[in-house]
Amino acid sequence: MEKIVVRGGKPLFGNVEISGMKNAALPIIYACVLIKSKCVIENVPAVRDVALSLSILREMGASVRMITKNTYEIDCTNIDINAVPYELFRQMRASYYLLGAELGRFGRASVGFPGGCDFGERPIDQHIKGFEALGGKVNIENGNISIESEDGQLKGTNIFFDLVSVGATINIMLAAVTAEGTTIIDNAAREPHIVDLANFLNTCGANIRGAGTDMIKIKGVKQLYGCNYAIIPDMIEAGTFMIAAAATKGCVRINNVIPKHLESVAAKLEEMGVSVEELDDAVVVKGTDTMTRTSVKTHPYPGYPTDMHPQMTVLLTQVPGVSYMTEGVYENRFRYVDELRRMGAQIKVDGRTAIIEGGTPLSAAPLKAVDLRAGVAMIIAGLIAEGESEITDIHLIERGYDDIVGKLRALGADIRRTVVPNDDAVKKAN
């Protein structure tokens, strides 16, 4: 088992390069299942969820070749949908994109129930509603979801989602791209990764309009063709570095970003008194000693992202006065609060709102990454705490951050990744 050890008190200074966006790379990798030729995907982040997804495609029989660290050639010409071990599906959420992709390619699908971060109940009823509207017959049995369609051909239709769901929007796009006729997705998610997936599919010959708005129109095409495509930068990784710069009162230039995607985070930081300078493909964040309290509520894009929630709570512990963090997307994303309390943070949780009595110094503690974004928030807490903190369960952080330790060290952080000896090894040594 590995852990991250971080000694607080060093402001971050310098430049950091942002990797490709995990949440865009995953659907694009699964979208390759739709295509009976080679795709070359660039700017793929080196994160665990990507590696797992590529393993799933390999298990299905796809040829996956690493060309450089961040470029892959994927060829799904010969694949079998029943070849993936159940255990692989359980390790991540995005494996459910295979449902849409297999339906689009074969008119039927079979996938193990997905895993992913524990934020309370995470139903997939909207995905199922969409698949059924397209003519799929869904059967859930023994931890497996299988879907069949009449004559192996889905039929385009109008789908109105009851709530805004990134995953359901993506899954229906994948299934509808080769359906007969036109599909209209109403109340669609508008996240930049939805636009990135649409751009990838359109480059492969799909006919998708309106991605990035709440109504997406998909005219089914007979076939898709391979292409070369570069993934957009990761706005959550960029936002995480923005908050780390502000929290340590440093000054960091965050390169390879699309500043438009960072507006909700930048606006909140500016409201608190942090300086955020927007350049063409970079932002410069400069911390201050005089931040002011605020209230934050997470929303679907273009609102303040739920995936930037725990990082912001850590920052708010350093702001004098009472601040509020309200979770508007998930029913329970507050499991990290106990970890911060052990560092001296004064936080109460009332329903979906954390009430943060800010301006308290944090002291180092043994910390646990309870999920991906909570884990990175623990790193930020460690960067500002007095003393040396140890963070365990870092495989959860590595699901979505490409070389977070190396990037922070290059900015001057005192941080390292080490191996925790397991109990057996300790007993033997004694």
Count the alpha carbons within 13 Å of 179 in the hemisphere toward its beta carbon: 33
- Residues 171-190 within binding reach of ligand UD1 (CB under 6 A): 189
Taking the CA atoms of 342, 344, 349 and 354 in sequence, report the sign of the dihedral they define. Answer: negative
By the rule CB under 6 A, 165 interacts with ligand UD1: yes
By the rule CB under 6 A, 93 interacts with ligand UD1: yes
Binding piece for ligand UD1, criterion CB under 6 A, among 35-43, 158-166, 268-276, 404-412 = 158-166
Residues 6+ apart with CB under 8 A from 321: 292, 293, 358, 359
Question: H or E stretch including 425?
Answer: helix 423-429
Distance between alpha carbon 193 and the CA centroid of its chain, in Å? Answer: 10
Write down the catalytic residue from 117, 204, 227, 251. Answer: 117
By the rule CB under 6 A, 329 interacts with ligand UD1: yes
Least distance CB 201 / ligand UD1 (angstroms): 16
Q: Which is nearer to ligand UD1, 250 or 305 (CB)?
A: 305
By the rule CB under 6 A, 26 interacts with ligand UD1: yes
Strands 2-7 and 388-392: antiparallel
The neighbour count for residue 52, using CB atoms within 10 Å, is: 17
Interaction pattern, residues 353-392, with ligand UD1; x per rule: CB under 6 A: ----------------------------------------
Interaction pattern, residues 191-230, with ligand UD1; x per rule: CB under 6 A: ----------------------------------------
Q: Which is nearer to ligand UD1, 23 or 146 (CB)?
A: 23
By the rule CB under 6 A, 323 interacts with ligand UD1: no
Least distance CB 26 / ligand UD1 (angstroms): 5
Interaction pattern, residues 298-317, with ligand UD1; x per rule: CB under 6 A: --------xx----------
Angle between helix 192-203 and helix 166-176 axes, rounded to 10 deg: 10
E strands of 199-331, at which residues?
207-209, 215-219, 228-230, 251-255, 275-278, 282-286, 295-297, 321-326
Binding piece for ligand UD1, criterion CB under 6 A, among 65-73, 116-124, 148-156, 388-396 = 116-124
For the question of residue 117 being annotated catalytic, the response is yes
The 295-297 sheet, strands edge to edge:
295-297, 321-326, 353-358, 346-350
E strands of 298-387, at which residues?
321-326, 346-350, 353-358, 366-368
Binding piece for ligand UD1, criterion CB under 6 A, among 1-9, 33-41, 120-128, 359-367 = 120-128
Q: Which is nearer to ligand UD1, 165 or 178 (CB)?
A: 165
Q: Which is nearer to ligand UD1, 76 or 372 (CB)?
A: 372
By the rule CB under 6 A, 33 interacts with ligand UD1: no
Residue indicated by tokens 């430049």: 15
**N-term to C-term CA, the chain:** 19
The SS3 assignment for 41 reads: strand
Among 68, 82, 87, 123, binds ligand UD1 (CB under 6 A): 123
How far apart CA 27 and CA 269 sit, in angstroms, is 30
Among 32, 166, 325, 378, binds ligand UD1 (CB under 6 A): 166
Amino acid at 366: P
By the rule CB under 6 A, 44 interacts with ligand UD1: no
Give the interface with ligand UD1 as residue ranges (CB under 6 A).
Answer: 23, 26, 93-94, 122-127, 163, 165-168, 189, 306-307, 329-330
Which residues are catalytically annotated? Answer: 117
